[in-house]
Structure 1
């Protein structure tokens, strides 16, 4: 297996696809150049139109490879693992801090979170962790302000 453009592929299928794609596109280009050369007097114009057939050959070669080499990944839809999700949320908040609450998000984003069944997880995490952190931070700031006021 190889990693290509952030996807895992079978090396043999990749080589096969390159050979098939190259053969079909180059074959279409060469055949079109030869055929059009018989009907068009200007060889440069025939070659230009033949390039269009070469591009069509690329698409046809891609379709052939898509039929021959089926995807290897399996997409499994499953329920959200809340324990793992809480760990991910903790890591997000540790790395980026609180950027506002779920209530601050546009309705389109909240709707998407609801569809993915993630909105409740964010709300629970915010209720249990972020608000406690904000209270601790506010108490710290008030304490510091009080100490600075005494020094003045």
Structure 2
């Protein structure tokens, strides 16, 4: 768990390191536990409230066989509204730091992940779509430069 109020800046790496506190990791993403609980409760209350409201309103204006369907649609509409409300209320807590990729940083990543540059380039060459995308992003040139440097 991480606490958003206790941020420490690591000037060497120019990133923000968050100390332990009130964040949790769920489905591979980091979120505030309090905000997660509030968002879930809001979604459940509005969804069930919309369904129950539909059960009360629709018998007066719709045919009996359609009451459950309309009520379910009202509950789903409430869920979609709460989805947008949660997105506005609870902004992401991530701090993304973009850094220029150089051969040395790529080499460090490959070493850390124990990847083989020749194998990676072979896989890239085998997939023309991936090769085109990496070329458009300028990353393929870094791979090829790294291979040349490693062979020297």
TM-score (norm 1): 0.71
Select the residue among 30, 46, 49 that pairs with 2:70: 49
Greater relative contact order (Cα < 8 A, sep 6+): 1
Does the CA-based 8 Å contact 1:89-1:125 persist in structure 2? no
Superposed, which structure 2 residues align to 1:23-102 within 5 Å?
Answer: 23-42=45-64, 44-90=65-111, 91-93=114-116, 98=119, 101=122
Residue 36 of structure 2 corresponds to which residue in structure 1? 14
Does the CA-based 8 Å contact 2:50-2:74 persist in structure 1? yes
Cα shift at 1:11: 0.2
The secondary structure found in structure 1 opposite 2:30 is strand
1:102 and 1:11, CA in 2 relative to 1: closer, same or farther beyond 3 A?
A: closer
Does the CA-based 8 Å contact 2:107-2:146 persist in structure 1? yes
**Greater helix content:** 1
Q: How many pairs were matched up? A: 128
Which one has the largest radius of gyration? 1
Does the CA-based 8 Å contact 1:110-1:119 persist in structure 2? yes
State how far apart, in whole Å, the 1-side matches of 2:137 and 2:84 are. 32
Q: Which runs of 5+ in 2 are unaligned?
A: 1-22
1:31 and 1:124, CA in 2 relative to 1: closer, same or farther beyond 3 A?
A: same
State how far apart, in whole Å, the 1-side matches of 2:130 and 2:63 are. 59
TM-score (norm 2): 0.71
